[in-house]
Amino acid sequence: MPLKNFLKDELIKLNLHCESYEQVFEVIYEEAFARGYVSESFFEKIKEREATFPTGLDMGTRNVAIPHTDPEYVHEQFIGIITLEKPVLFSLMDDASKTVEVNIIFMLGLNQPHSQLTVLQNLMQVIQDEEGLERILEAKNNEEIYSFFNELAAT
């Protein structure tokens, strides 16, 4: 399934002002919980998982995080896309003792094991595409995000 099929309009937040990754998680949790996408435990569980298994990726100029939690806390699958007004610190995925300033977050709400691997593989293609990350970061509205992911699905 193409990544675009996981996008939810209300979980795309562009140029969001947050002071920490916990605040980002809370914003997305509140939207997702209000719509029945996640369980009440989702917020605590995603924070716990981030503390144990950090998701920050140092991509050079456009750093990314891909936080997620266990499938039982997700009722309806989604990918939240958050760009930040100013970066927040995430611990690095490959070295939790180091942090990276992240300005693009792909929050994953996945509950099907087979889709998780496919989504992660497809998302890694996006993350490794510097031009693509730049387009996401510079998007002014959700339509520009959808346009990017529609083009991706067409290739």
- What is the reported pLDDT for 76? 96
Q: Which two tokens stand for residue 130?
A: 């510097």
Q: Which residues contact 149 (CB under 8 A, 6 or more apart)?
A: 2, 3, 4, 7
| Residues paired with residue 78 on neighbouring β-strands, in sequence order | 109
pTM: 0.95
Angle between helices 21-34 and 42-52 (to 10 degrees): 150
pLDDT value of position 114: 78
Are the beta carbons of 110 and 54 closer than 8 angstroms?
no
Provide the pLDDT for residue 123. Answer: 93
What Å distances lie between residue 77 and 28, 37, 111, 115, 144, CA to CA?
13, 7, 6, 9, 21
Torsion, CA 142, CA 148, CA 153, CA 155, rounded to 10: 170
Say what the pLDDT of residue 73 is.
97
Note down pLDDT in tens along the chain; length 155 residues. 889 999 999 999 999 999 999 999 999 999 999 999 999 999 999 999 999 999 999 998 899 999 999 999 999 999 999 999 999 999 999 999 999 999 999 999 999 977 788 898 999 999 999 999 999 999 999 999 999 999 987 77
What's the confidence (pLDDT) of residue 58?
95
Q: Which domains can be identified in the chain, with CATH numbers?
A: 3-154 (3.40.930.10)
